[in-house]
Structure 1
Amino acid sequence: MAGFPVVSRRSGRPEPPVTESQLLAELRWLRRELEHVRADNELLREAAGPLIHLAPARERFAFIHAHRSQFSLRRLCRVLITDRSNYRAWVRAQAIREERARQEAELLERIREVHTAHPAYGAERVTRELKREGVEVGRRRIARLMRHNGLSGITRRKRRNLTKPDQAAATITDLIQRQFTAPMPSLKLTGDITCFPTGEGWLYL
């Protein structure tokens, strides 16, 4: 049987003719390879299915967004078992998040300028200073940005010391032992006074 003439793509010269039997053999080989590829894909899908379901939606959306130039959106969503409408909603929300991040970066720069000029300023005074400059922002947002970026004011208030027991004082025995019932009146006397004034000053129980 006559062969089919084939022209080489590199040299442009005709290659030896390919017979029909050779084409059939190559077709059978390609079919076998296709079956192997299909089996491998099915195995990978079965193995990756649980992992895909366990992955947070935002991670799947981010993967699709990063590879959308290489593969079609339909294929990516089908392989990752993701609804296209949910992905598009994530993209719209991502644009809002990026805009908010840009605004907060600009706001943080303004906060740094105020804090550099006035190192003692905390969130409340920084907020007042920014509002005087025409920046409308809430104190909680300023406090969050300052806290996350290690910025803090200087407090001038003296810290109150709590009552500390005298380590050298004699230990008073607990005679009640949390047994608050008594067989007769005036046998056990208790009170809730923690301190009282004396000529020597306040005494604490």
Structure 2
Amino acid sequence: MIRFQFVYDHRTEYSVKRMCKVLKLNRSSFYKWVNTREKRRLKMCSDALIGAKIKAAFDDEHGLYGSKRIAASLNSDTDFGPINHKKVARIMKSMGLQRLYQAAPMHHYQAQARPPRHAGFARP
């Protein structure tokens, strides 16, 4: 976030407590952001590597595969650990990859209800 970065850049000039108060940030949120910087950087690198594999699989299938099929094809390879289809969908969205054809929607029809039977009526 931009505000966290501002506090981080100016923490030697002003107190963190005061800057967080002025910018309406929680100090604990700022320190959590600072402590997870390395983890976010590693996630971006990992996503870039997986993104290259996703792009290759997407191009191999001429844009016909969606996130679930690409995840299944990547999981069949043993280069990476298991990859969730939701992660593949998130990376595909960030890369601007969309399958060419949308699947037709499934129509679910309700069975028509029979009129209730009454004791006085016999069935024909």
Asked whether the two chains share a fold, i.e. TM above 0.5, the reply is yes
Larger strand proportion of the pair: 1
Change (3 A) 1:88 1:115: same
Partner of residue 77, structure 1? 16
Task: Indicate which of 59, 70, 73 corresponds to 1:129.
Answer: 73
The count of corresponding residues between Structure 1 and Structure 2 is 100
Cα drift, residue 88 of structure 1: 2.9
The alignment status of 1:115 with 2:115, answered yes or no, reads: no
Instruction: Tell me which residue corresponds to 1:65.
Output: 8
Q: Please identify the structure whose Cα radius of gyration is greater.
A: 1
Counterpart Cα distance in 1 of 2:10 and 2:2: 12
Classify 1:140/1:63 alpha carbon distance in 2 versus 1 (closer, same or farther; 3 Å).
Answer: same
Q: Which amino acid aligns with 1:132?
A: S
- In structure 1, the residue matched to 2:93 is 147
The question of whether the paired residues in 2 share the 8 Å contact of 1:77 and 1:84 is answered with yes
- Calculate the TM-score normalised by the size of structure 2: 0.61
The corresponding residue for 1:167 is none
By how many angstroms is 1:150 displaced? Answer: 2.1
Q: CA deviation at 1:100?
A: 1.4
Look up the match of 2:46.
103
Amino acid at match of 1:94: R
Deviation of 1:153 (Å) = 2.4
Q: Any residues of structure 2 matched to 1:164-183 within 5 Å, and which?
A: none
Secondary structure (helix, strand or coil) at the match of 1:121 reads coil
Q: C-alpha distance in 2, partners of 1:158/1:79?
A: 56
Alpha carbons 2:16, 2:27 under 8 Å: kept: yes
Secondary structure of 2:58 counterpart? helix
Is the Cα–Cα contact under 8 Å of residues 60 and 80 in structure 1 kept in the other structure? no
2:35 match: 92
Structure 1 gap segments, 5+ residues each: 1-57, 161-192, 194-205
**Inter-CA distance 137–66: structure 2 relative to 1 (3 Å threshold):** same
CA RMSD of aligned residues (A): 3.0
CA distance in 1, matches of 2:10, 2:77: 44
**Residue 157 (structure 1) shift:** 5.8
Q: CA deviation at 1:92?
A: 0.9
Amino acid at match of 1:126: I
CA distance in 1, matches of 2:96, 2:20: 41
TM-score, normalised to structure 1, is 0.40
Give the CA deviation at 1:87: 3.4
Task: Report 1 or 2 for greater relative contact order, CA contacts < 8 Å, sequence distance ≥ 6.
Answer: 2
